[in-house]
């Protein structure tokens, strides 16, 4: 074998068009093409591997994915336990609540007359429209619910579980919040103030003193304790942002208190940002390894593509390829309806870390 021949082992296979291929079959063929197509096919394989291993799978969700039509895909992933914990921006949860309450987003244009839209109180997200008056109604609905709760501090995980339950009780409709409530999957929203859910919570304080109090630091403690309890973890990230970093920092924080935590064993990210501007959203998975966020031997795939392109293909492929694995998967079991979450019967406190290095008292 010549020196260079060791690099020339596996040829690219041109993609042959064939009618009737499933998404799973398409991605299998894409494993032998190049660029982001191959990366998407690799992401499919990595997700299957994490489902077939004893790991807790975190899903991070940023961007305008709910407004952009992907909310029921995420609900499907939650209901069928392709993932075990969601970390989301507040906007995605708010736009999910908007549609679960029977309202809609509308096909628009990025070339709209925004002055005319503002006059008609229409909000634009690139090529998608929504009714500002309906958003005001959502804010008031959230405020009324928050004001009805006991006036104390809630982690976002506890508050969003209660909100999802109220949304299910009042609508009976599928969505991200209602799917997570019914499947007992925790949702964290570390930047909840940066959303219309935060605005609704602020309005709750106008209705009742002490309402709308969110314990963001409790989220950090609780998410790290979750990983201390189950140190084998995996991460799937859609769009970077705060959710991506929150999932990764939970692993780093947990490692500070437990030597069993070594970083995520599997990682998939679907992002449009690039690493060379230094932002966390575009940071490579290799960079994450330098921080201890990923294990050195982790299986990983990074796909630089719009999630509205990648996720429908990937989720549809998983719907064909994953059911035998899901049938035998032992998912972590949560209780979520009170201040203290449990996982597999073990408490997951939000007030202090479970320091396994501390001597027993």
Mind listing the pLDDT tens digit of every residue in the chain (361 residues)?
Answer: 678 888 999 999 999 999 999 999 999 999 999 999 999 999 999 999 999 999 999 999 999 999 999 999 999 999 999 999 999 999 999 999 999 999 999 999 999 999 999 999 999 999 999 999 999 999 999 999 999 999 999 999 999 999 999 999 999 999 999 999 999 999 999 999 999 999 999 999 999 999 999 999 999 999 999 999 999 999 999 999 999 999 999 999 999 999 999 999 999 999 999 999 999 899 999 999 999 999 999 999 999 999 999 999 999 999 999 999 999 999 999 999 999 999 999 999 999 998 766 654 4
207 is known as an active-site residue: no
Q: Which long-range contacts (CB under 8 A, 24 or more apart) does 70-76 make?
A: 70/307, 70/308, 70/311, 70/312, 71/95, 71/96, 71/99, 71/175, 71/176, 72/174, 72/175, 73/311, 73/312, 73/315, 74/176, 74/179, 75/174, 75/175, 75/176, 75/178, 75/179, 76/179, 76/315, 76/319
Q: Does domain 15-87+153-192+214-348 have CATH number 3.40.910.10?
A: yes
The Cβ of residue 200 has, within 10 Å, a number of other Cβ atoms equal to 25
- The pTM score is 0.96
Domain locations in the chain as residue ranges: 15-87+153-192+214-348
The active-site residue out of 4, 184, 244, 293 is 293
């Amino acid at each position: 074998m010549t020196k260079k021949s060791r690099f020339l082992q596996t040829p690219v296979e041109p993609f042959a068009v064939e009618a009737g291929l499933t998404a799973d079959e398409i991605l299998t063929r894409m494993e032998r093409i190049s660029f982001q197509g191959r990366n998407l096919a690799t992401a499919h394989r990595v997700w299957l591997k994490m489902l077939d291993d004893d790991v807790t799978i975190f899903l991070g969700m940023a961007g305008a994915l709910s407004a952009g039509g992907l909310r029921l895909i995420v609900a499907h992933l939650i209901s069928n336990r392709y993932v075990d914990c969601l970390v989301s921006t507040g906007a995605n949860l708010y736009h999910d609540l908007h549609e679960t309450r029977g309202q809609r987003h509308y096909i628009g244009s990025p070339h709209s007359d925004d002055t005319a839209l503002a006059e008609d109180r229409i909000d634009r997200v690139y090529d998608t429209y929504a009714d500002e008056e309906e958003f005001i109604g959502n804010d008031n609905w959230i405020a009324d619910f928050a004001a009805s709760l006991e006036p104390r501090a809630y982690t976002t995980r506890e508050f969003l579980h209660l909100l999802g339950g109220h949304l299910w009780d009042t609508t009976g409709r599928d969505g991200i919040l209602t799917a997570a409530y019914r499947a007992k999957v925790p949702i964290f929203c570390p930047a909840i103030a940066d959303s219309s859910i935060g605005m609704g919570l602020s309005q709750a304080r106008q209705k009742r003193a002490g309402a709308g109090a969110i314990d963001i630091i409790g989220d950090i403690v609780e998410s790290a304790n979750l990983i201390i309890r189950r140190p084998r973890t995996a991460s799937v990230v859609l769009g970077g942002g705060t959710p991506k970093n929150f999932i990764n920092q939970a692993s780093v924080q947990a490692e500070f208190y437990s030597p069993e935590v070594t970083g995520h064993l599997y990682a998939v990210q679907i992002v449009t940002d690039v690493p060379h501007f230094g932002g966390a959203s575009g940071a490579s998975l290799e960079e994450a390894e330098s921080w201890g966020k990923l294990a050195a031997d982790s299986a990983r795939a990074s796909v630089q593509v719009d999630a509205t392109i990648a996720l429908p293909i990937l989720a549809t492929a998983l719907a064909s390829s994953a059911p035998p694995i899901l049938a035998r998967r032992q998912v972590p079991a949560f209780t979520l309806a009170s201040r203290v979450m449990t996982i597999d019967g073990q408490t997951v406190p939000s007030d202090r870390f479970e320091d396994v290095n501390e001597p027993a008292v």
